[in-house]
Structure 1
Amino acid sequence: MSDRLPTIGILGIMQPLYDDMLPGITDRQAGYARRIAESLADVADCVVADPVRGRADAERAVRGFENDDLDGVLVVMLTYGPSLRVTRVLHDARLPLCLANIQPDPVVTPEWDMADMTYNQGIHGAQDTANAMVRAGRAFDVVTEEWPSDAFRERIGRWARAARAVTAWKRLKVGVFGYAMNGMGDARVDEAAWMRSLGPEIEVIAPGALHRTMAELPESAVGALLAEEDERFAVDERLSKEEREDHARMQLAIEQLLTEHGCGAYSTHFDAIGEDGRFTRLPMAAASSLMASGYGFAGEGDALAASVVYAGHQLAGDGHFTEMYAMDFPTDSILMSHMGEGNWKVARDDEPVRLIKRPLDIGGLDDPPTLLFRIQPGPATLASLVALGGERFRLVVAEGEVLDSPVLPALEMPYGQFRPASGVRDCMDGWLRAGGTHHMVMNLGRTAADWKVFCDLAGVEFVQV
């Protein structure tokens, strides 16, 4: 889902005051806006509106961006433009905003005259506009850079990815099959407050619907999925045809139901599946492959964690659901794993991903086919969404690295050892003080700065530990 570039609208603001003084200034500055869009082609697909010279122009442009389902709006001052002409439309805009404090010419030279001053006077328009948004309580990002530079492209790319993630999050539906795990408090959330504040919605899906959908699937679809697995994974010869077909039916049925319900993320709880009485095994490998195809996922009915895995897909690519199992003080690291679900796209590239026959007593069902891999060594980031009560939410983030640690031969589920940049002791002290949950998303790479922009745009408190 994060393979596509973010789509952003460029809202260039000026005013008609300068037309008589500098004939052709509107066309000249419109060309400047187009050059900005061309410079960003590697980080975003840009739609450039006609220069905004009044309130009607601004409303028409922003509504066009929204109707075209863009991810965000980049506001650029083409000259000075009085803020009251855009105050209302920026306050009401449904899309995330970024104010680019830039100008056509990055250097003031002795050759400058009044025309050059006028072409490059966006800075005080940016001040006027930013002041209006601050007074209105409107969240927005700001980038002050030389616009043709790599630094500008990097910062706008980060904002654009965050805008894509926030916009998708506001529309997200999280399917919960059955119910959430009893007694697991850090996954509990006031659904109405969550939806009002951030946008995601919980859609409860009955296990019976999953059972019926499994039974109705055509054999051809099951066979096609098994052929894909044979091509992609090292398949355990001990897995029977019956075991593999049953697992494949679960995966295909879950995906079909998510599509029918419009869900981009989901969660299953082993008791909800096990106690139903109609299922043979838990959908372990299904969760791994559905994450790899872009769905958010979390175990135990945890909709909060499923939503942040989905956001991780949108923000940085290949969100991986995991949790902290144990601390390893000699290596200053934490063993990361879960019961058997993990995004195989974060697997080491020097080892095959294995589809194994794996005994699992949890749920009281038969052995679930499970994808086993170790996480790729290198930089990585953890993020946990915390419900603080009411409409207050916090994201706890830790950067670090996945170690090239020894194989744990008895561990039959995805795993890796994460060394926090701040060290295990300081990281965990900070994580616990901030209320970080036990379910989280991992992304490969250092993405704390991306999560910070995401939080600024979404209205979520950001804590890095």
Structure 2
Amino acid sequence: MTDIKDMKVWFVTGSQHLYGPKTLQQVDVDSSKIVDGLNASGKLPVEVVFKPVVKTPDEILNICVEASADKNCIGIITWMHTFSPAKMWIGGLKALSKPYMHLHTQFNRDLPWSEIDMDYMNLHQSAHGGREYGFINARMRKNRKVVVGHWQDENVQTQVGNWVRTAIGWADSQGLKVARFGDNMREVAVTEGDKVEAQIKFGWQINAYGLGDLVKYIDKVTDAEVDELYKEYEQEYAVAENCKPGGEYHENVRVQARYEIALKRFMVDGNFKAFTTNFENLTGLSQLPGLASQRLMAAGYGFGAEGDWKQAALLRIVKTMSEGMKGGSSFMEDYTYHLDPANEAVLGAHMLEICPSIAAKKPRLEVQPLGIGGKDAPARLIFESETGDAMNVTMIDMGNRFRIIVNTLDVIEPLDTMPKLPVASAFWKTHPNLADGAAAWIYAGGTHHSVFTLALTPDFIETFAEYADIEFVIIGKDTKVPEFKKELKWNEVYYMLAKGL
């Protein structure tokens, strides 16, 4: 996963010289206490760093330039303790290349009813200082996060922490390298897309590699290394008897272990954070990487099947945002429906590659025929997902823009056992219901591949989309298909016009 220990968020407070040195000293003291409170809250995954109050256009420009150049700074939190004339912020906001948040709070929660005087009013001006600052952001068409409430409120701290996690994901997105082993599945539309535009918008570097490049790594893996990794499998999974040493399929498992070691080395050597495979392009491989892909996802790598590089990169970012949180994330596919009118639901799965981070119980390691691709039967992990609130996230290329689609879900226990199902799976209720949820997804152009996550909520993804200045639509409990169709048409008009603004 991403090493976040050196990542920092800067806390920048705006004011002006008009109030005099005593007030400005108090602004610094109060700002420092807010920083200490956020750091002590346990809601933020990285440290917030206090920066002295900024009072002039030059000070604001300098702090924004410094933040943009500092490799450890992933974003800034801005707060207007007093009134801070917003023309002072124009140069700095133009220069700032990192995500930022407007924390609209004030130091004291309650009014001091019996003691309030003009000195108090001059110091505690966040209510209208924040509006002045908000105007210039709107005037400059800046995408930013606004969080409103008292800084000691747990809900506010949680919102700040969520924004920080999205900033971590955005930082990881910059220069994210995706290795495509082979090309996309032939004749499939949704796995295509503009890789150049993806690099411009998100920072992703997406490049293809021949299977021969991976085979060179596979050939260098020793039997001793495979033996050692197999011992790890025995400890972590319920290994089928015919997959153990001496069993009919033990060698099939060893092949996947060899693939895992080789893939990991390829990824590390090239600093790749996500990869794709394609069952139509396996020249030099005896199996499609199944178990190997599942375990690399569990280690934090993004993955996309059939060459789907957009979902591979998106999965990596979702995993980065949710590091340390409860609930896993996986590559996923809406596979088949349960259309009982009294209990409609979706069985999500894939041929092989579902991440064990979402498993409810200890996965089983088995070898089963793939039934497609004409290769040997691959080893894979079989399990059922944890239950709870979840969502599917996908990204599509609309030609003139990228669109991110989110559909919220209730993951439930399967209604019966599935002893013959040879793959990992998740069983969910689609919001607002299966018919409307599926219709809205299809109207929006949603793919059959998605990123499934039990860890994050839609606001993380919405904020990420705003950073990238791309379209975001959500299908949730309150979605009405006729209104959703109108939203898609309005968005079409907006993005057509925005290209010329």
State the SS of the aligned residue for 2:460. helix
Which sits farther off after the overlay, 203-212 or 75-84?
A: 75-84
Q: Distance in 1 between matches of 2:473 and 2:131?
A: 28
Aligned to 2:246: none
Aligned to 2:302: 296
Aligned to 1:80: 83
Cα separation, partners in 2 of 1:218 and 1:128, compared to 1, 3 Å: farther
Aligned residues of 1:379 and 1:446 also touching (Cα < 8 A): no
State the SS of the aligned residue for 2:241. coil
> Which of these residues, 51, 54, 65, is aligned with residue 52 of structure 1?
54
Aligned to 1:464: 474
Residue 49 of structure 2 aligns with an amino acid whose one-letter code is V
Aligned to 2:95: 92
Q: Does 1:326 align with 2:332?
A: no
Aligned residues of 1:378 and 1:445 also touching (Cα < 8 A): no
Q: Distance in 2 between matches of 1:23 and 1:422?
A: 51
Aligned residues of 1:40 and 1:46 also touching (Cα < 8 A): no
Q: Deviations over 1:234-281 (max 9, x none)?
A: 1122124432222111111112112222221110111111xx1x2111
Q: CA deviation at 1:425?
A: 0.4
Q: Distance in 2 between matches of 1:118 and 1:224?
A: 68
Which sits farther off after the overlay, 406-415 or 241-250?
A: 241-250
Q: Distance in 1 between matches of 2:193 and 2:392?
A: 21
Aligned to 2:182: 178
Q: CA deviation at 1:107?
A: 1.9
Aligned to 1:148: 152
State the SS of the aligned residue for 2:348. strand
Cα separation, partners in 2 of 1:294 and 1:236, compared to 1, 3 Å: same
Which sits farther off after the overlay, 186-195 or 1-10?
A: 1-10
Q: CA deviation at 1:14?
A: 1.7
Aligned to 2:166: 162
- Pairs within 5 Å for 1:390-405: 390=400, 392-405=401-414
Which sits farther off after the overlay, 180-189 or 2-11?
A: 2-11
Aligned residues of 2:8 and 2:73 also touching (Cα < 8 A): yes
Q: CA deviation at 1:59?
A: 3.5
Q: Distance in 2 between matches of 1:364 and 1:159?
A: 46
Q: Distance in 1 between matches of 2:230 and 2:185?
A: 31
Residue 327 of structure 1 aligns with an amino acid whose one-letter code is Y
Cα separation, partners in 2 of 1:16 and 1:207, compared to 1, 3 Å: same
Aligned residues of 2:311 and 2:394 also touching (Cα < 8 A): yes
Q: Deviations over 1:138-169 (max 9, x none)?
A: 21010110111011111111211122112222
Unaligned runs of 5+ in 2: 244-248, 476-501
Q: How many residues get paired?
A: 459
User: TM-score, normalised to structure 2's length?
Assistant: 0.87
Cα separation, partners in 2 of 1:23 and 1:335, compared to 1, 3 Å: closer
Residue 204 of structure 1 aligns with an amino acid whose one-letter code is A
Q: CA deviation at 1:42?
A: 3.0
Q: Does 1:265 align with 2:274?
A: yes
Aligned residues of 1:83 and 1:132 also touching (Cα < 8 A): yes
Aligned residues of 1:139 and 1:457 also touching (Cα < 8 A): yes
Q: Distance in 1 between matches of 2:171 and 2:470?
A: 14
State the SS of the aligned residue for 2:122. helix
Q: Does 1:389 align with 2:399?
A: yes
Q: CA deviation at 1:333?
A: 0.6
Q: CA deviation at 1:288?
A: 0.6
Q: Deviations over 1:92-118 (max 9, x none)?
A: 322111100111012223312222112
Q: Distance in 1 between matches of 2:330 and 2:100?
A: 28
Q: Distance in 1 between matches of 2:22 and 2:383?
A: 67
Q: CA deviation at 1:292?
A: 0.5
Q: Does 1:197 align with 2:201?
A: yes
State the SS of the aligned residue for 2:333. strand
Aligned residues of 1:99 and 1:142 also touching (Cα < 8 A): yes
> Which of these residues, 309, 320, 337, is aligned with residue 314 of structure 1?
320
Which sits farther off after the overlay, 134-143 or 54-63?
A: 54-63
Unaligned runs of 5+ in 1: none
Q: Distance in 2 between matches of 1:378 and 1:37?
A: 29
Aligned to 1:104: 107
Q: Deviations over 1:431-463 (max 9, x none)?
A: 001111110011115612322222223322221
State the SS of the aligned residue for 1:348. coil
Cα separation, partners in 2 of 1:39 and 1:280, compared to 1, 3 Å: same
Runs of 4+ in 1 over 4 A off after TM superposition: 2-6
Which sits farther off after the overlay, 328-337 or 48-57?
A: 48-57
State the SS of the aligned residue for 1:361. coil
Residue 47 of structure 1 aligns with an amino acid whose one-letter code is V
Aligned residues of 1:39 and 1:148 also touching (Cα < 8 A): no
Q: Does 1:432 align with 2:436?
A: no
User: TM-score, normalised to structure 1's length?
Assistant: 0.93
Q: Distance in 2 between matches of 1:358 and 1:92?
A: 55
